[in-house]
Amino acid sequence: MSQWRTSCQTAPAFKMFNQTYTISGSSEKPIAIDYISSDAEQVKPLVIFVHGFKGFKDWGTHHLMGNYFAEQGFNFLKFNFSHNGIAENQVDFFNDLEGFSKNTFSKELFDLNQVITFALSGEPFEKPSEICLIGHSLGGGISIIQTSEDKAVKKLATWASISSFRNLWSPDQENEWRKNGVLYFLNTRTNQQMPILSTLLEDLNEHTERLDILAAARKTSQPWLIIHGEADTSVHYKHAIELHNQQSKSQLLLIPSADHVFCAKHPWNTESIPGELKQVCDATIAFFKSEK
């Protein structure tokens, strides 16, 4: 089993900038973007962070993480999927459950492609020297498929990624879903019952080949770092091992004490990143800076 060794040099202090943009996503719904950069005078790689199910760009430690990557010589882009349930006028409360209910995996792939196209356009910010993806949880599965299809992505890191979209629900839930046309997922933070229409299942069945994460993993040729916490109770670390087994060139890092969010939470009220997440960031930064 391959392992990735972590090391990260302390970067010089630069002035940080956080710019916001909105672009058109699936069904012409908006994609809200945060772009974090420094005033270091060189063309830098761009790290695009892809959030997971019930995730969003302003969750917990994401702003600290973006600053940390920018301090280490990257530009950093985080965004909300167009159908993630948070409308433009909100930060962390799901006020667009109708939009959330209509989400599909194909819509998320469309959105991610829109974000990458925007990033490579050279406007309104400088065209990056290369694109690196970080995908968390469900966003990991989306990022694996995108990377397998898109040579503009030069390096990939997946954090606590799923290995199959059908890992997100049980067979009994799927039967109920088909029967009722909708399945509700509890958000324990907000206490909201979040609906997903059965059109998501229809999308999965209609695009079975494209939406096969393990098949995409086998086709991925770019350098790939797989990170998972051994204390993850949401997505078991066996998913990371299964993904690693599909691609002999991938690197695997298992973190014994880390949970699904690497010991972060929302809201996060301090200005320091938790140790487990810092280990993940340092490993990813070292990997993105390597020649592999």
- The 3-state secondary structure of the chain, one letter per residue: CCECCCCCCCCCCCCEEEEEEEEECHHHCEEEEEEEEECCCCCCCEEEEECCCCCCCCCCCHHHHHHHHHHCCCEEEEECCCCCCCCCCCCCCCCCHHHHHCCCHHHHHHHHHHHHHHHHCCCCCCCCCCEEEEEECHHHHHHHHHHHHCCCEEEEEEECCCCCHHHHCCHHHHHHHHHHCEEEEEECCCCEEEEEECHHHHHHHHCCCCCCHHHHHHHCCCCEEEEEECCCCCCCCHHHHHHHHHCCCCEEEEECCCCCCCCCCCCCCCCCCCHHHHHHHHHHHHHHHCCC
| 191-234 confidence digits (pLDDT tens) | 999 999 999 999 999 999 999 999 999 999 999 999 999 999 99
pLDDT band at 5 (very low <50, low <70, confident <90, very high): very low
- State how far the Cα of 277 lies from the Cα of 265, in Å rounded to an integer: 11
Instruction: Choose among 262, 242, 259: nearest CA to 163.
Output: 242
CATH number at residue 28: 3.40.50.1820
Query: Does residue 2 register a pLDDT over 90?
Result: no
| 37-52 confidence digits (pLDDT tens) | 987 768 899 999 999 9
Residue 11 lies in a domain: no
For residue 64, give Cα distances in angstroms to 9, 78, 270, 283, 290. 17, 12, 10, 16, 23
Tokens for 59, please give them: 């969750």
| 230-283 confidence digits (pLDDT tens) | 999 999 999 999 999 999 999 999 999 999 999 999 999 999 999 999 999 999
Residue 186 lies in a domain: no
How many C-beta neighbours within 10 Å does residue 118 have?
A: 19
Split into its structural domains, the chain has a count of 1
Range of the domain at 161: 16-170+213-289
- State how far the Cα of 103 lies from the Cα of 292, in Å rounded to an integer: 35
Residue 177 lies in a domain: no
Query: Does residue 292 register a pLDDT over 70?
Result: no
Query: Does residue 10 register a pLDDT over 60?
Result: no
Residues of the chain above pLDDT 90, percent: 90
Residue 9 lies in a domain: no
pLDDT value of residue 15 = 81
| 82-131 confidence digits (pLDDT tens) | 999 999 888 999 999 999 999 999 999 999 999 999 999 999 999 999 99
Residue 195 lies in a domain: no
Residue 94 lies in a domain: yes
Tokens for 216, please give them: 């995409």
pLDDT band at 162 (very low <50, low <70, confident <90, very high): very high
Residue 272 lies in a domain: yes
pTM beyond 0.75: the answer is yes
Task: Supply the angle between the helices 199-206 and 171-180 in degrees, to the nearest 10.
Answer: 110
pLDDT value of residue 248 = 95
Residue 8 lies in a domain: no
pLDDT value of residue 279 = 98
